[in-house]
């Protein structure tokens, strides 16, 4: 980047002032520019776009391994499609952008700027599905979606344009659809926890908080440094709701039309990026997971005899190993370079100076542990093989530690109040019902604590001898309470 050499200043504490820390880092690390002249729509600068492409790559690889294939549907959806499923249009109409004009003319019917694409996919599925051999049908697209948010927007966290993947799956039976929800959880965990080191909760949402048109909604939520949760992926079990509305089915052996079962899965790429920035970043800047870092290792030469040759030899040795490496031979001082690359979150720094040349060693610096170590050139290959996994574990432990510090368990409103005033922001608690008859209790909890009922873990056991913290009746669910972005 042309701007890399500008001096960065950064002095905001992430944990005590997260919002300002976040706004500062996305601007100063040149990730996102929110000065584009449409509120809530931002520009992804090269560093953010490279991370975005890497996150897409990890998710797409998983989806394809689990039998999905890529497609692309138009960005515009006719209003008649969007209106076919009654709950769906009711949920999305208040936040849909509409294209009403083409050139100088008013269009005869208006088109939605895709807020989500169920009603585009299923319009075509009704033409593609004919026989049982067409099932399962598992397609995904990697696109931006558009919502005319009325809440305050914040770059990557809540935007009017955001990036995601949407996978739309069709099955012959409910069992297969439910199995897909579990598969979606597995993929989500493998990528977000396994590759990006961000711990998540994967929750069945309350009925009052499900996707418009779904039977059940499941959500993956990351915990941000301020203790608010960020929904980074959702999976919806749609049952036959849309297959009724779109007349989706296949003809069985007797020539009878059978309705199909559906799921859809939406990992939010913008929000996963926000979670990486927020959960891993620290008061010295970004910290990028090795797997997706656009620069995985930077080599900083400290001028002296033989340094240039050794630095270049090491750079090419790393490149040969498939490591994305930057050899910083710019005019700046070594100290300025250390600061810059640390701020930009490069996982590994290798320093090469006169001392290193004479001792046939290099100095390595781990961005997560912030430790300097000396490694002999003969041991460098072994070190490089172990480094990514070791750093991943350290990053995961650090993130897990933050997660645990923000978490508490409350079996009464009184206890919950104590925990929130001592800084706990994600509470495990007990609720009478996640069906619509529990909504009153959830409202009471929200009013008392400022935390909403996020849902319960999949396959959670029914709590024993616990009371709903709001109404005191028998608790049927162990739930998580938190404030959400």
Binding site for its own copies (CB under 8 A): 1-3, 5, 33, 35-38, 41-46, 49-50, 52-53, 69-76, 78, 80-81, 93-104, 110-111, 113, 120, 123-124, 127-128, 133-137, 139, 144, 146, 148, 150, 161, 163
Q: How far, in Å, CA of 123 to CA of 132, rounded? A: 18
Q: Which is nearer to its own copies, 17 or 69 (CB)?
A: 69
For the CB of residue 104, give the shortest distance to its own copies in the complex, in Å: 7
Task: Please identify which residue in the block is written with the tokens 């579990």.
Answer: 182
Q: Which is nearer to its own copies, 100 or 359 (CB)?
A: 100
Q: How far, in Å, CA of 281 to CA of 13, rounded? A: 11
Q: Which is nearer to its own copies, 140 or 430 (CB)?
A: 140
Residue 210, exposed/middle/buried by CB under 10 A (0-12, 13-18, 19+)? Answer: buried
Q: What ranges in 78-206 are assigned the alpha helix state H? A: 79-82, 86-92, 118-128, 174-188
Q: What ranges in 347-422 are assigned the alpha helix state H? A: 354-359, 380-405, 413-421
Assess contact for 453 and 431: CB atoms under 8 A. yes
Q: How far, in Å, CA of 485 to CA of 482, rounded? A: 10
Q: Which is nearer to its own copies, 78 or 194 (CB)?
A: 78
For the CB of residue 458, give the shortest distance to its own copies in the complex, in Å: 29
55 token code pair: 């996150």
Assess contact for 432 and 476: CB atoms under 8 A. yes
196 token code pair: 């990006």
For the CB of residue 117, give the shortest distance to its own copies in the complex, in Å: 11
For the CB of residue 364, give the shortest distance to its own copies in the complex, in Å: 27
What backbone torsions phi and psi does residue 212 show, to the nearest 5 degrees? -65, 105
Task: Please identify which residue in the block is written with the tokens 């005869």.
Answer: 108
For the CB of residue 248, give the shortest distance to its own copies in the complex, in Å: 14
Q: How far, in Å, CA of 169 to CA of 161, rounded? A: 24
Q: Which is nearer to its own copies, 143 or 471 (CB)?
A: 143
Q: Which is nearer to its own copies, 151 or 393 (CB)?
A: 151
For the CB of residue 131, give the shortest distance to its own copies in the complex, in Å: 9
For the CB of residue 100, give the shortest distance to its own copies in the complex, in Å: 5
Q: How far, in Å, CA of 378 to CA of 197, rounded? A: 30
Residue 239's nearest CA partner among 214, 207, 266, 211 is 214
Q: Is 177 left (phi over 0), alpha (psi -120 to 50) or beta?
A: alpha
Task: Please give the helix or strand (H or E) that residue 220 lies within, else none.
Answer: strand 216-223
213 token code pair: 């048109």
Q: How far, in Å, CA of 274 to CA of 26, rounded? A: 9
Q: Which is nearer to its own copies, 142 or 197 (CB)?
A: 142
DSSP secondary structure code for residue 390 in this structure:
H
Bridge partners, 105 (sequence order): 102
Q: Which is nearer to its own copies, 141 or 412 (CB)?
A: 141
For the CB of residue 60, give the shortest distance to its own copies in the complex, in Å: 9
Q: Which is nearer to its own copies, 53 or 405 (CB)?
A: 53
DSSP secondary structure code for residue 223 in this structure:
E
Q: Which is nearer to its own copies, 44 or 242 (CB)?
A: 44
Residue 66's nearest CA partner among 6, 12, 138, 8 is 138
Q: Which is nearer to its own copies, 108 or 422 (CB)?
A: 108
Q: How far, in Å, CA of 446 to CA of 440, rounded? A: 10
3-state secondary structure of 105: strand
For the CB of residue 369, give the shortest distance to its own copies in the complex, in Å: 30
For the CB of residue 84, give the shortest distance to its own copies in the complex, in Å: 12
For the CB of residue 252, give the shortest distance to its own copies in the complex, in Å: 16
146 token code pair: 């558009």
């Amino acid at each position: 980047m042309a701007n890399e050499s500008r001096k960065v200043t950064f002095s905001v504490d992430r944990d005590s002032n997260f919002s300002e820390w976040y706004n500062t880092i996305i601007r100063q690390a040149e990730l996102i520019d929110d000065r584009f002249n449409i509120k809530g729509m931002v520009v992804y600068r090269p560093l953010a776009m490279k991370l975005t492409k890497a996150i897409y790559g990890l998710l797409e690889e998983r989806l394809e391994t689990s039998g999905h294939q890529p497609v692309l549907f138009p960005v515009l959806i006719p209003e008649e499609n969007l209106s076919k499923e009654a709950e769906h249009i009711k949920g999305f109409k208040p936040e849909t952008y509409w294209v009403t004009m083409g050139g100088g003319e008013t269009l005869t019917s208006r088109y939605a700027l895709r807020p989500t694409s169920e009603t585009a996919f299923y319009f075509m599925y009704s033409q593609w599905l004919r026989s049982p051999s067409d099932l399962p049908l598992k397609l995904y697209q990697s696109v931006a979606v558009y919502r005319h948010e009325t809440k305050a927007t914040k770059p990557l966290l809540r935007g009017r344009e955001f990036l995601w993947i949407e996978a739309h799956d069709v099955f012959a039976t409910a069992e297969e659809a439910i199995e897909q929800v579990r598969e979606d959880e597995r993929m989500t965990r493998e990528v977000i926890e396994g590759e990006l080191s961000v711990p998540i909760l994967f929750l069945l949402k309350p009925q009052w908080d499900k996707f418009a048109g779904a039977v059940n909604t499941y959500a993956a939520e990351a915990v941000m440094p301020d203790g608010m949760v960020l929904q980074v992926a959702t999976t919806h079990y749609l049952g036959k709701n849309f297959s009724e509305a779109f007349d989706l089915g296949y003809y069985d052996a007797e020539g009878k039309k059978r309705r199909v079962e559906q799921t859809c899965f939406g990992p939010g790429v913008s929000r996963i990026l926000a979670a990486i920035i927020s959960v891993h970043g620290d008061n010295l800047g970004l910290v990028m997971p090795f797997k997706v870092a656009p620069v995985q290792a930077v080599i900083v030469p400290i001028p002296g005899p033989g340094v240039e040759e050794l630095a270049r030899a090491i750079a090419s040795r790393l490149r040969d190993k498939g490591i994305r490496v930057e050899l910083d031979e710019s005019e700046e001082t070594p100290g300025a370079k250390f600061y810059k690359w640390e701020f930009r979150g490069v996982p590994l720094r290798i320093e090469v100076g006169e001392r290193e040349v004479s001792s046939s060693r290099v100095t390595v610096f781990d961005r997560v542990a912030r430790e300097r170590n000396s490694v002999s050139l003969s041991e460098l290959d072994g070190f490089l093989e172990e480094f990514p996994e070791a750093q991943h574990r350290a990053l995961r432990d650090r993130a897990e530690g933050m997660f645990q510090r923000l978490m508490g368990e409350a079996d009464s409103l009184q206890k919950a109040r104590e925990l929130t005033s001592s800084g706990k922001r994600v509470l495990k608690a007990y609720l009478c019902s996640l069906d619509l008859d529990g909504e009153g209790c959830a409202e009471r909890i929200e009013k008392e604590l400022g935390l909403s009922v996020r849902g319960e873990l999949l396959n959670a056991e029914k709590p024993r001898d616990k009371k709903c913290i709001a109404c005191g009746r028998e608790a049927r669910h162990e739930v998580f309470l938190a404030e959400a972005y």
